[in-house]
Structure 1
Amino acid sequence: MAASIGGWSARHRWAALSIWIAFVVTATLVGNAVGTEKMRSWEGENGEAREAATVLEAAGFPDVAAESVLIQTRDGKAPADFRRVAEEVGRAVLATGRVENVRTPYSEEAPAPVSADGRSALVVFDMKGEGATAGERVRPVIDAVAQVQRAHPEFRIDQAGEASSDLMVGDALADDLTRAELLSVPLTFGILLAAFGALLAAVVPLVVAFTAYLGAVGLLALTSQLLHVDSATTNLMLLIGLAVGVDYSLFYIRREREERAAGRGRERALEIAAATSGRAVLISGITVIVAMSGMFLTGNGIFIGFAQGTILVVLTAVVGSMTALPAILSLIGDKIEARVVHGAVRRLTGRTWRRRLGGREGGGRVWNAILAAVLRRPFVSVLLAGGLLIGMAVPAFDLRTGQAGLADLQGDYPVVDTFRRIEAAFPADKAPATVVVTADDVTAAPVREEIGRFEERALATGEAVGPFGVAVNPDRTVAVVSFGLVGAGPSDEASERAVRTLREKVVPQTLGRVGEAHVYGSVAAVMDFNAQLGRTVPLVFGFVLLLAFVLLLVSFRSLVVAVTAIVLNLLSVAAAYGVLVVVFQYGWGEELLNFTSTGSIVSWLPLFLFVILFGLSMDYHVFILSRIREAFDRGMPTEQAITYGIRTTAGVVSSAAFIMVGVFAVFGTMSLLSFKEMGIGLAVAVLVDATVVRAVLLPATMKLFGDANWYLPRRLGWLPVLDHEPGGADEAEEPGGSGRDGGPDEPDALPGERVPVTAG
């Protein structure tokens, strides 16, 4: 199928390019017209917390953005004019016409708090209008507060709240993401240019990858109408799409250049590339998609959105690599090797870009030296490399997860610093919680009586802290009972015990008698999220491993190859987990990476990394195995096939790995700690996978297994036979198909050996 699609695209290049461009343009225009449907707040919750959040969204409670202004003395003394400054702040924000419900510490009703030491005070108010869009209207309020600050330099007067956070932090993070995305593209281009030394060879993979990303974003807008997505999904799509899209193009271009260097005609070279590298791209893409689809099993909106985005961008990258890329290569021809730094490279290396891009140098001295040493001592190599990865993975047993909070935002953000100073001046002695109650009429006497009984029993357990508050929606069908829990908040044992007591004992005996009642809040949400992950992680792991195993078994008709691939990929993932723990949990890389450790890894990352890394690891594995199996099917002994496969793929695997590591590492420079963890985790895993695993463990284990690598039980003999040879290679070259060097050449062979070839 891959050969047929690639061959048709090469022969009908203008039609193939027109179809691809029409798809990308149409998808982009339709996507922009429809718009991407963002995930609802309740879709990121799980369990009982999700049910409560769903009720609250539909209840019609006012959506209000609350703001606070912190007033503190700079010299640590409580001045006599504290009241005058607080009231001046109140008048200034009220004069903007953008706020309401302004309260100072000196208001007659519900005064704002003053710290226990008397050196800090708050002025609190609400933004007018919808809270979701308050960030768009808060700038005049921030300016008014800043004007009061300038008039009173002896004080620190800073604003923080939902609207100001949306404005300041949201803009900063958007700039952060934009910077990372803008850095990724030129970095990728630079690596491609260094690898190929040819401008077109560097541009073409980027064009294919970026157009695939644009098409995928357009498709996401359509699918998001059914399954809503998190706002970070498109950023993740660029990260993954750029990595896999460029990789797939590299595999394809490298093979086509090899065939041209071996004397094949232009059309024949493209056909062979389609039948070999195109097939490897197809298998790799399907494996990645299978791995990504495991996130659907979590039932969490964030993971479901990530799954949608990554699957779409990988799918479009595969389609683009199998259709648009052959058409582009057919159109450009040998001009793709037009050299831009030929002279400098020739002086440094003594090689021409023509020979290097054609891949006829056998992988380079370093790869050959490593491979020779590994194959001489395969058992020792497995012990050393396996021991290294296991040692790297050991810290993963101490992996602790936590929720993203203020500490997740690293860097110089004044609004975050203000939040931290508010927390320090007004330390919370309780974790906020609510019970969401639904009934036909929550103001009816029976419901009010049960609310009173709930308050009494909750206090009697010692797990709840007053005061209690009750809010009723306009339809009087939902009541929210607010109170405090003992403990420090999310992930605190005392707070979690309090939630369990309320859910299992107090609520069923009180509010549960008159309607539905759900305990909600940050503590309950974290508990439900962790419980959901605990239930679904084994399902996701099992699903991904089983389907990847079946796909590899069918593709290579080998039980040993499939099992070995699973084990090696798991070692890569485990090593990445270990590095994450050492760097971000133990804080060993704080100064280098410019962050402050929170002592934990953000809770959604381990599962996400497993799915992404397992899928991406298959890229190199499938590509290398395809070349090894191809050589074996052409009559080469197993050990020679291993050497041939590693040598002929060494250059492109190195280039692809450098690109992935570079793109992922850029995201490791971001201010959001969770993105730092994701970027560094992905970069380390890909680097380890492309070096230790593919250069050492893979050839060493295959050498130890020998011909047993291709073992397939007789009971599985019914599996389809997939030809790993470049189909039709026994046909004569078409007229005029001689290579650029004047005639056909054999593929790389071991010293003293001649690879059997049937072409020419």
Structure 2
Amino acid sequence: MSLALYRLGHAVGRHRLLVVVAWAVLLLVVLGLARTHGGEYDDDFSIPGTESEQGMDVLAERFGTAAAGASAQVLYRGEDVTAPDAWAAVEASLAAVEAVDGVAGVTAAEKVDVTAAHDAALATVQLEDAEPSDATLDALRDAAVVDTAGVTSTVGGNAYGGGGAGASHTAEAVGLGVALVVLALTFGSLVAAGLPILTALLGVAATIAGLQLAASAATISTTTPSFASMLGLAVGIDYALFVLSRHRAQLADGVEPRESMARALGTAGSAVVFAGATVVVSLVGLVVVGIPVLTWMGLGGALAVTLAVAAALTLLPAVALLLGTRLRPRERRPRAPRTHPARAGRPSLAARWVALVTRVPVLTVVLVVLGLGAAALPAADLQLALTGGQGGEPGTPERAHADAVADAFGAGSAAPLLITADILGGDDPRATVEDLAAAVGDVDGVVEVTAATPNAAADTALVRLVPPGGASDPATVDLVHRLREAAPAIEAQTGATDLLVTGSTAVTIDVQELLADAVVPFGATVVGLSLVLLALVFRSVAVPLKATVGFLLSVGASLGAIVAVFQWGWGADLVGVAEPGPVVSFLPVLVIGVLFGLAMDYEMFLVSRMREEYTHHGDARGAVLAGFTHSAPVVAAAALIMVAVFAAFVPGGSTTLQAIAFGLAVGVLVDAFVVRMTLVPAVLVLLGDRAWWMPGWLARRLPVVDVEGEAVVRSLDATRAAAAPDAPAVRARGLVPRPGDTPLDVDAPAGAVTVVTVGSDAAADAAARALTGRARVGGDVAVGGLVLPEQRERVRRATALVVADPPLRARTVERHVAGALALLGTPRRRRADLVARVGQITGLRGPVDALTRSERRLLVAAVAHVHGAHVLVLPGPPDTDLAAVLVRHGATVVLLIPQTAARPEDRPSPTAPPRPAPRPTAPVAQEAHR
């Protein structure tokens, strides 16, 4: 991947203006489509397949769509609402409400619920649609207005939603302002600081437009665009920061801009792709929870991250290359030595910090674990609800109405439960309905049965009851469970069947419980994924375990802070929390998913440099110090930007978004500065060399993942080395043919025969497969400027492995050569010329049965060479004469000879030169067994 990104950098450099124009056109098209075809956001949390949703379907089918539509309430208050003048005003209001277009029905005046003190009356309004239009809701509110005869009215109910789920543009402006300051301090340039913000904003704009388009065909909550905007800004700025900081550092070293950006994408860009992929995977994982609205929140966040990665890899490089050398730092600071930079000159802040936390690593580990463990303790009291508060956001008219209804009639009056049941089994549908209402009213916890009626076909009953509390009240939740448990007994008692507990309150409860049940399996999936990903990246057992434990500590501290502030009210006024209470049910899943991706980002950016230092020098403590000192400043800047963006969405947002943003801000702050920059270096120093250990059997089975762009560095080094006049065609350092074999060093000059002695026939075969890209490479191997394993496909085309005794299935040499070239994909028009060339090289013709082993081997090698294999690797017997023939015709030959065959007393006699070619001479490079 790193080499592909390196090539992408050069491609963007060649077409930088076209890339910018393409982004502009794409953005304009998406914004235009969103404006003309975009839909409306909707906070519908229903889940297909639940009992409550089945009940809603029954209501729509058997009572008409109005029965399953939204409902509203009108509350009338006064000293005595039953006084003649006051009641006349109430009746006039009800008549006006019933006349509103879109209203299916209103509680009859004689059935309006009135308090015992006659100071309040409550009427229910049933609407025709589950999602009534704004015009209908506004007309209903206007029609219900009463302010005469000492009576006032308010309107609310589930039809009016929660209100104001989004965050203001002020939050985005504040976050961007802080990000600009941090970037300006990091880069020392306002132009450089503005680039990440520009690309992040364009990515967010495309995301919001895409979500608005999707809203025309899917149910997307009002929180989703704000969440996606918050996440897109944070990661978009961070990812652009990583790429741009690497680019500017290379410009300071004198690298030409286009080459610098290609290298930046191949190195930092690889890390950005991996980091973005982890966040996207964790967000897309929300699909398994099975709640459509939460699924779209995850997909919206994933879209924001994907576009942020795309902008960092294409738009940012294009704009940066248009600016050219103007992004080069003004002053070139002297660079510290690669190893142990903490010891060179005056130590930097990062060097002093890592030295402090690793001085007594045990003490650091104990303090951090105990501190974060204590911070996580409040999380044990986490209370979940589908909305931040009953009836809407604090301070809204809907919330004021809900509070007034709860004061007058009890909290349950604003959260009624509905029960549907088939009544075909009885002779008298009306009597069955009355018996059903009586049986339901006897269930412990039912405050009142307010309505019971059959449908027009007299086959289904509808019972409306008042629970003891609101939709999130534990007493209401318990009542729903008791009603469902009592359903068989009620059916047996009344003759009704298929009893279902439904209504918006039951839908809310079902969603809450599904979300709560999803937290543990989702968290376990994320933890398992982190172990696998980090094991792939760092080739270690201890590093993934340490990183996962750190992630759990970060999540615990984040949830603990949310509980302390949003439930217990600690410092609630400081962050703008209007009313402490339960947090939204999907918050834990969302926070775990996002924090997982971000935590893995910081782990990878920090620890990958430490691993690189360790592989180069083998000094475990020095690697931690050097890697931390190099990576910590950029990671710290990225974390501060992300914290600032998240924190900016806390004041002024909805209760839902406030808690999510606050939790993510705390989580990133703790994970970056306490876990990754304090706990991680202490643990790695404490473990020493054991931190980088992995069992051989596991290392061999795990694929190699290059996230630091090591392949780009090796490829550039190999390309430079291959350009030298005396460069070897094949170069290997520490090549391990098989586990347990002695490592080999190989330098095979171009146009010569190189003899390498290995331990056994099996080792020779394994080394041959490795050198030709046909097996996994253990060590540093380059063939003609191509590195393994990253460029193995090109290496396989440029090399050939010729076994000791190749089988030939054709009758004649000519037919074999023609058939072999056809199998290799040689165009028909070229085959005759290549067949003739093979004949010139080998001098072989006639039946293949007459060929010796060496002649068959020469024939196979010659076919591969004329097809394009410039490097021929021959394991087995020391056929130096055969190799000399191939070298004479431009090939590079590597002979891998087992030790037994290399001993003089065991070495076979030289093979006679193939007929009729004369015995040529060729240079031979003898490689010692290492």
Corresponding residue number in structure 1 for 2:419: 435
Residue 387 (structure 1) aligned with residue 382 (structure 2):
no
Corresponding residue number in structure 1 for 2:134: 135
Residue 730 (structure 1) aligned with residue 714 (structure 2):
no
Decide whether aligned partners of structure 1 residues 437 and 10 sit closer, same or farther in structure 2, where only a CA change above 3 A counts. farther
**Distance between the aligned counterparts of 1:620 and 1:638, measured in 2?**
20
> What SS does structure 1 have at the residue aligned with 2:131?
helix
Q: Residue deviations 1:139-168, cap 9 Å, x none?
A: 56656777x64x77xx573422249946xx
Residue 306 of structure 1 deviates from its aligned partner by: 1.3
Corresponding residue number in structure 1 for 2:52: 49
User: Aligned partner of 2:377: which letter?
Assistant: V
Corresponding residue number in structure 2 for 1:739: none
Decide whether aligned partners of structure 1 residues 722 and 625 sit closer, same or farther in structure 2, where only a CA change above 3 A counts. same
Decide whether aligned partners of structure 1 residues 356 and 473 sit closer, same or farther in structure 2, where only a CA change above 3 A counts. farther
Asked which structure has the greater CA Rg, the reply is: 2
Residue 367 (structure 1) aligned with residue 350 (structure 2):
yes
User: Aligned partner of 2:469: which letter?
Assistant: A
Decide whether aligned partners of structure 1 residues 429 and 392 sit closer, same or farther in structure 2, where only a CA change above 3 A counts. closer
Q: Residue deviations 1:406-441, cap 9 Å, x none?
A: 4585553344223312321222577632123468xx
Residue 125 of structure 1 deviates from its aligned partner by: 7.1
Residue 689 of structure 1 deviates from its aligned partner by: 1.3
Whether the 8 Å contact between 1:400 and 1:600 is mirrored in structure 2 is: yes
User: Aligned partner of 1:66: which letter?
Assistant: A
Q: Which of 456, 464, 480 does residue 499 from structure 1 map onto?
A: 480
Decide whether aligned partners of structure 1 residues 192 and 693 sit closer, same or farther in structure 2, where only a CA change above 3 A counts. same
Residue 301 (structure 1) aligned with residue 292 (structure 2):
yes
Residue 453 of structure 1 deviates from its aligned partner by: 4.3
> What SS does structure 2 have at the residue aligned with 1:70?
strand
**Distance between the aligned counterparts of 1:520 and 1:310, measured in 2?**
31
Q: What are the equivalent positions in structure 2 for 1:562-601 lying under 5 Å apart?
A: 562-601=544-583
**Distance between the aligned counterparts of 1:214 and 1:245, measured in 2?**
12
Structure 2's unaligned 5+ residue stretches are 722-930
User: Aligned partner of 2:20: which letter?
Assistant: L
Higher deviation after alignment, 6-15 or 242-251: 6-15
Q: Residue deviations 1:529-570, cap 9 Å, x none?
A: 344235433321222222222222222222222222211111
**Distance between the aligned counterparts of 2:487 and 2:499, measured in 1?**
11
> What SS does structure 2 have at the residue aligned with 1:683?
helix
Residue 672 (structure 1) aligned with residue 654 (structure 2):
yes
Q: Which of 207, 223, 245 does residue 216 from structure 1 map onto?
A: 207
Residue 278 of structure 1 deviates from its aligned partner by: 0.6
Whether the 8 Å contact between 2:243 and 2:269 is mirrored in structure 1 is: yes
**Distance between the aligned counterparts of 1:573 and 1:674, measured in 2?**
18
Decide whether aligned partners of structure 1 residues 477 and 370 sit closer, same or farther in structure 2, where only a CA change above 3 A counts. farther
**Distance between the aligned counterparts of 1:228 and 1:435, measured in 2?**
26
Whether the 8 Å contact between 1:48 and 1:520 is mirrored in structure 2 is: yes
Residue 262 of structure 1 deviates from its aligned partner by: 2.5
Residue 691 of structure 1 deviates from its aligned partner by: 1.0
**Distance between the aligned counterparts of 1:443 and 1:645, measured in 2?**
77
**Distance between the aligned counterparts of 2:449 and 2:253, measured in 1?**
82
> What SS does structure 1 have at the residue aligned with 2:121?
strand
Q: Residue deviations 1:588-631, cap 9 Å, x none?
A: 11232333554433322122211111122222222222322333
Corresponding residue number in structure 1 for 2:630: 648
Corresponding residue number in structure 2 for 1:754: none
Residue 687 (structure 1) aligned with residue 669 (structure 2):
yes
Higher deviation after alignment, 307-316 or 43-52: 43-52
Q: Which of 178, 194, 197 does residue 206 from structure 1 map onto?
A: 197
Provide the TM-score with structure 1 as the length reference: 0.81
**Distance between the aligned counterparts of 1:214 and 1:190, measured in 2?**
22
Residue 17 (structure 1) aligned with residue 4 (structure 2):
no
Q: Which of 157, 160, 168 does residue 155 from structure 2 map onto?
A: 160
> What SS does structure 2 have at the residue aligned with 1:669?
coil
Larger relative contact order, structure 1 or 2 (CA cutoff 8 Å, min sep 6)? 1
**Distance between the aligned counterparts of 2:522 and 2:384, measured in 1?**
18
User: Aligned partner of 2:317: which letter?
Assistant: P
Decide whether aligned partners of structure 1 residues 327 and 637 sit closer, same or farther in structure 2, where only a CA change above 3 A counts. farther
User: Aligned partner of 1:689: which letter?
Assistant: D
Q: Residue deviations 1:34-73, cap 9 Å, x none?
A: 5357568463477322322344455533246534243335
User: Aligned partner of 1:303: which letter?
Assistant: L
Residue 519 of structure 1 deviates from its aligned partner by: 1.1
Whether the 8 Å contact between 1:401 and 1:601 is mirrored in structure 2 is: yes
Whether the 8 Å contact between 2:426 and 2:496 is mirrored in structure 1 is: no
Whether the 8 Å contact between 2:72 and 2:155 is mirrored in structure 1 is: no
Aligned length: 701
Residue 240 of structure 1 deviates from its aligned partner by: 0.7
Corresponding residue number in structure 2 for 1:115: 115
Corresponding residue number in structure 2 for 1:548: 530
Higher deviation after alignment, 647-656 or 155-164: 155-164
Whether the 8 Å contact between 1:408 and 1:673 is mirrored in structure 2 is: no
Decide whether aligned partners of structure 1 residues 471 and 637 sit closer, same or farther in structure 2, where only a CA change above 3 A counts. farther
Decide whether aligned partners of structure 1 residues 591 and 213 sit closer, same or farther in structure 2, where only a CA change above 3 A counts. closer
**Distance between the aligned counterparts of 1:224 and 1:284, measured in 2?**
28
Whether the 8 Å contact between 1:68 and 1:159 is mirrored in structure 2 is: yes
Q: Residue deviations 1:283-309, cap 9 Å, x none?
A: 111111221122112111232111111
Structure 1's unaligned 5+ residue stretches are 339-351, 735-760
> What SS does structure 1 have at the residue aligned with 2:46?
helix
Residue 455 (structure 1) aligned with residue 417 (structure 2):
no
Decide whether aligned partners of structure 1 residues 89 and 195 sit closer, same or farther in structure 2, where only a CA change above 3 A counts. farther
Residue 222 of structure 1 deviates from its aligned partner by: 6.5
Corresponding residue number in structure 2 for 1:741: none
**Distance between the aligned counterparts of 2:156 and 2:497, measured in 1?**
34
Q: Residue deviations 1:265-321, cap 9 Å, x none?
A: 223322221122111111111111221122112111232111111112112212221
**Distance between the aligned counterparts of 1:513 and 1:90, measured in 2?**
38
Q: What are the equivalent positions in structure 2 for 1:394-405 lying under 5 Å apart?
A: 394-404=377-387
Higher deviation after alignment, 451-460 or 230-239: 451-460
Cα RMSD of the aligned pairs, angstroms, is: 3.9
Q: What are the equivalent positions in structure 2 for 1:458-473 lying under 5 Å apart?
A: 458-462=440-444, 464=446, 466-467=448-449, 469-470=451-452
Residue 423 (structure 1) aligned with residue 424 (structure 2):
no
**Distance between the aligned counterparts of 1:143 and 1:515, measured in 2?**
42
Decide whether aligned partners of structure 1 residues 465 and 67 sit closer, same or farther in structure 2, where only a CA change above 3 A counts. closer
Decide whether aligned partners of structure 1 residues 159 and 493 sit closer, same or farther in structure 2, where only a CA change above 3 A counts. closer
User: Aligned partner of 2:65: which letter?
Assistant: F
Residue 683 of structure 1 deviates from its aligned partner by: 0.8
User: Aligned partner of 2:115: which letter?
Assistant: S
**Distance between the aligned counterparts of 1:458 and 1:94, measured in 2?**
32
Decide whether aligned partners of structure 1 residues 239 and 494 sit closer, same or farther in structure 2, where only a CA change above 3 A counts. closer
Higher deviation after alignment, 366-375 or 472-481: 472-481
Corresponding residue number in structure 1 for 2:690: 708
